[in-house]
Amino acid sequence: MEGHLNLTLKIWRQKNASVAGKFETYQVSGISTDMSFLEMIDVLNNRLIEEGDDPVAFDHDCREGICGMCSMYINGRPHGPNRGVTTCQLHMRSFQDGETITVEPWRASAFPVIKDLVVNRSAFDRIIAAGGFVSVNTGNAQDANNLPIPKENADEAFAAAACIGCGACVAACKNASAMLFTSAKVSQLALLPQGQVEAASRAQAMVAQMDEEGFGACSNTGACEAECPKGISIENIARMNREYFSATFSSK
């Protein structure tokens, strides 16, 4: 049932990439427990506008947990306290009346802050551009059912492909590693016959780009998997490592 909360918010404010940021404290009251976390921020922002202040900038778009745009680090966890949900699907019923909530942007040198809670995640696009595809031009395809694929493989590829590219894995990792993100795409394509032709070169190219972007190394802590809103498995990292090492040892 609907209830109402009074909350203290400590939110990271930073005008742009070139100035230092700091936490500001705000009080909000009468927050419905049926609201999403972002709707709670909307309430705060409309009040800030009416009071003549600059509202909190944050990334968001679909608000149904699939576009991967929302990115808040809430009480020390990417996308907040609940497992398997993005910030837009986090509802205020997960919080207690009187609670203090700390909200920060993703922290990683490869994700520089643009303003307040908004960060630049274009490094992910460049990793995909380095090799996260099957090299097939439009119009070359054979009939889709000419290539039967075992259901288990298709399901496993789908599970890896469910990544929404939000960057929570990087934000959760003490090394700011992008291994879970990168390995999810490598795995999806390596698990399917269409992707196997380029499996080796793909793994090498994507890992090289990942390193170039300044993401850290993987030390197998598993925080990425625990915080991933889409339940992407850490097994993908093992699969990518296999692809990568076999490619490295067999490359000419």
Question: In the range 141-170, which residues lie near other proteins by CB under 8 A?
Answer: 141-145, 147-151, 154-155, 157-158, 161-162, 164-165
Q: Is 57 in the site for other proteins (CB under 8 A)?
A: yes
Contact 195, 188 (CB under 8 A): yes
Q: Which one of residues 61, 99, 211, 212 is an interface residue with other proteins (CB under 8 A)? A: 61
Q: Which one of residues 27, 96, 98, 139 is an interface residue with other proteins (CB under 8 A)? A: 139
Q: How far apart are CA 220 and CA 88, in angstroms?
A: 28
Q: Which one of residues 81, 83, 133, 248 is an interface residue with other proteins (CB under 8 A)? A: 133
Residues 23-52 that bind other proteins (CB under 8 A): 32, 34-36, 38-39, 42-43, 46, 48-50, 52
Residues 80-109 that bind other proteins (CB under 8 A): 84-85, 89, 91, 93
Work out how close the CB of 47 gets to other proteins at its nearest, in angstroms, rounded to a whole number: 9
Token pair for 68: 């991967």
Token pair for 129: 């551009």
Helices of type H across 132-234: 151-161, 168-172, 179-190, 193-196, 199-212, 223-227
Q: Which stretch binds other proteins (CB under 8 A): 21-29, 99-107, 114-122, 238-246?
A: 114-122
Residues 186-215 that bind other proteins (CB under 8 A): 188-189, 192, 194-195
Total number of residues that touch other proteins (CB under 8 A): 80
Q: How far is CA 75 from CA 12, 45, 176, 234, in A?
A: 12, 20, 18, 24
Phi, psi (5° rounding) for residue 74? Answer: -110, 120
Closest CA to 118 of 128, 106, 130: 106
Q: Is 120 in the site for other proteins (CB under 8 A)?
A: yes
